[in-house]
Amino acid sequence: MDDGTTNLAGIVIPSTHPVFLTVVGVHIVLGLACTVTGAVAMLSPKRAGRHPRYGTIYFWCLAGVFLTAASLAAARWLEDYHLFILGALSFASACLGRQARRRRWRYWVRLHITGMGASYVLLLIAFYVDNGGTSLFGESFRPLRIGYCRQLSG
């Protein structure tokens, strides 16, 4: 487009630069993978097999989401710093949950559930903060997206 933006399925991406768009593409794929693998891990029986396998995939995809989000936020810091904060909180929560389980800390079950659950919720909040006005929900979440969520994140 001639205004320096790219429209992808109704979502406006504020760049036409191929590297930026490639990072956005990787970010989207990793975000979708997080959403699916996190849900599978949450809904699976908590024993060896599916839960730890999908939980590990979720964690590493979330690491990728955080790295791509950090690079995208760095490119547009004034507009996207709040998304960096949400990404950092999400990944930090997942790290807490993962380490609690791996090191068997005291109360590790509570810490694992809280950390991993918070990381998933923060992942979804970041998506809706960034895309709430242009996603499936249209403008219905715009006041929440602009006001409340930005206050929460910074």
Q: What is the mean pLDDT of each run of 10 residues along the chain (154 residues)?
A: 71 80 92 96 94 97 97 92 95 98 95 97 92 58 54 57
Q: Which amino acid is at 11?
A: I
In the 8-state DSSP scheme, what is residue 104? T
pLDDT at 1: 43
Tell me which residue range forms the domain holding 97.
Answer: 12-153
- Whole-angstrom CA distances from 50 to 32, 103, 120 are 18, 20, 18
Side chain identity at residue 141, one-letter code: F
> Would you say residue 113 lies in a domain?
yes
For tokens 């994140």, the residue is: 153
Q: Is residue 1 part of a domain?
A: no
- Per-residue pLDDT at 67: 97
Residue 77 lies in a domain: yes
Total domain count for the chain? 1
Report how far residue 70's alpha carbon sits from residue 110's, in angstroms, rounded to the nearest whole number.
Answer: 29
Cβ atoms within 10 Å, residue 8: 13
Q: Is residue 6 in some structural domain?
A: no
Q: What are phi and psi of 74, to 5 degrees?
A: -65, -35
What pLDDT sits at residue 17? Answer: 81
Q: Would 102 be classed as within a structural domain? A: yes
